[in-house]
Each structure stands twice: as structure tokens, then as C-alpha cells.
Amino acid sequence: QKRWTVPMLGEARAAGRKLVMLTSYDASFARVLDDNGIDLILIGDSLGMVVQGFDSTLPVRVDDIAYHTAAVARGATRALKIADFPFGSDGSALEAHAAAVRFIQAGASMVKLEGAGHKLETIRYLVEREIPVCAHLGLTPQSVHRFGGFKVQGREDAAAAKLCEDALAVADAGAALLVLEGVPAALASRITAASPIPTIGIGAGSGCDGQVLVLHDLLGLDTGHRKPKFVKDFLVEGGSVAGAIRAYADAVRDGRFPDAEHAYA
């Protein structure tokens, strides 16, 4: 089986192959993901909620992401590993670079950051220094205080136009991948059609170039947090942990997930 590299992301999109991403935080699960059809493993700051038990992603630290990235990298050799900047670690290009070097040295091939605006400078700074970047727009969980909760973004015309503009801007700054979270399906399709880089949806409908879920949600675990509409328990049909991950990967590749029931109109 092939080992995923950053250039392969655009190649997969050009070939019409869906990208299948899932989060993992440790070596054992990473190994199962690697063996069951997952292309991209995100060491997400969602670990603050599903591993550490906080009610947002804000308390996560750079040390935590570096630690979990190293563990995942020991378990998965085939999938592309993407490490998530925790809140406050990407406030300046210089700080972001210092954290990103740790993530790359821990085994990540790409780093992910939320937002556009002043982050565009950071994206450019990292890409120029050989650190591939995945952008993340829409319902960015680190914006929880400004949003006043975890709310679907881009419902009004002005907000939708801003999202489209930001999507083009992050690609222009050099991002190689774009996660769209919690946006109406039609808007995510529109952004994907206009985007020069592959898009990965979560709560963004089936029109994206790929999908991502949080591992614990896919396994139907009760994490103590309210489950968003797009979450699906694949353990029921998969029958085992490996089967659930395989069922998710197959459903994304066939275009069966997400269906309308797991998207925002």
C-alpha cells in the first residue's frame, strides 16, 4: 500500500478519488486507521474534548499535540499525519514556526491552523520554510467565544461571501488542503468548486473532496458533549473497531457519507 505524501492530495482530487481523514491520538488506534483505509490522520486539538475531558479545545497545549503526534507517528506509517495548532500557538508566524518544527520532528507531514485574516501571513511563512499547511474555515472551534457557541457558519449571504473569499485566500497563501467545518452543504460545494486545493468536510455535506470525523464520534463513544448532527456511529454497521473505520472509509469513497441527514441544508 502506498505511503501518502502531500503532492498526492492534489493528485487524488484530480483523479476524482475522495480523501478519507480521521482523527487519532495514540499509536494503537493510528495503526488500525492505517490498516483500514484511512488516508490522512489528524492529531486534532479535539483531543482536549475527547481525551482530556475539557468542554472546548482551548486548554490544549503545544506539548500535548507534540506528544500525541509522536505516538500516532509510531503507529501509522502509510497515512499522512497532520498536526493541529492548539489555541494561542499560532498567534504569530514566529511562534507558529517554533511549534510546527516540533510537530514535523514528531512525525507530522503537515500542520493545520484555523482561520484566515492574520493567519495568512503565518501560512505563507510556514510554506516558505517547507512546512505544508492545511487551513480550517467555517465553524472553527477555537472561535467559540466570538461565535457564542458551536454554531453553523456561513448561513447569511455576507458570511457566505466572506467564507468563499477566505477559502481562496488561504490557498493563495500556500495552503495545500482546506477543512470546511459546520457550513451549509451548498456553500461547501460552491467553495470546493472554486477552490484550487482539495477540501475536506465535517458537517459540510458531501460536495467536498474528502471527509473528516473525530474518531470517538465514529465509534459512538459518549464523550460527555452534545453530538452534532453530522456525527455518525459506524460501529453499529462495522461490527468492530476496524470494521467501523473500514465502513466509514468505504462510505466516504462511495459518496454514501455524509447523506442529507448528516449535513446542514
- For residue 126, give Cα distances in angstroms to 7, 35, 146: 17, 31, 26
- DSSP annotation of 37: T
Contacting range for Na ion; rule: CB under 5 A; set: 22-30, 37-45, 143-151, 243-251: 37-45
Q: How far is the CB of 100 from ligand KIV (least distance, A)?
A: 16
CA separation for the pair 217, 170 (Å, rounded): 28
76 binds, among ligand KIV, Na ion, none (CB under 5 to 8 A by kind): none
| Exposure of 72 in the CB half-sphere (CA atoms within 13 A) | 33
Question: Quick check: 44 binds ligand KIV (CB under 6 A)?
Answer: yes
The answer to whether the CB of 89 falls within 8 A of the CB of 95 is yes
Does 112 belong to an annotated binding site? yes
Interface map 49-78 toward ligand KIV (x if CB under 6 A): ------------------------------
Q: Does the footprint of ligand KIV cover residue 46 (CB under 6 A)? A: yes
Which of the listed partners (ligand KIV, Na ion, none) does 41 bind, with a CB threshold of 5 to 8 Å by partner kind? none
Cell digits of residue 235: 460501529
Q: How many degrees, rounded to 5, is the angle at CA 39 between CA 101 and CA 102?
A: 10
Cβ at position 127, least distance to Na ion in Å: 20
Rule CB under 5 A: choose which of 45, 64, 90, 209 binds Na ion: 45
CA dist 10 and 126 (Å) reads 19
Give the residue from 25, 74, 15, 19 showing the smallest Cα distance to 51: 25
Three-class secondary structure of residue 5 per DSSP: coil
Rank residues 184 and 203 by Cβ distance to ligand KIV and give the closer one.
203
- Check whether 46 is labelled as a binding-site residue: yes
Of 72, 152, 170, 179, the one binding ligand KIV (CB under 6 A) is 179
The Cα 194–Cα 233 span in angstroms is 31
Instruction: Give the span between the Cα atoms of 201 and 212, in whole angstroms.
Output: 6
Per CB under 5 A, the segment of 79-87, 115-123, 149-157, 206-214 that binds Na ion is: 79-87
- Which of 188, 187, 192, 203 is CA-nearest to residue 264? 203
- The reply to whether 121 belongs to the active site is no
Q: Catalytic one among 95, 156, 165, 181?
A: 181
Work out which of 4, 34, 36, 45 binds ligand KIV, going by CB under 6 A.
45
Of the candidate spans 41-49, 87-95, 117-125, 239-247, the one that interacts with ligand KIV by CB under 6 A turns out to be 41-49
Alpha-carbon Rg for the chain in angstroms: 17
Q: How far is the CB of 44 from Na ion (least distance, A)?
A: 4
23 or 153: CB nearest ligand KIV: 23
Interface residues with Na ion (CB under 5 A)?
A: 44-45, 84
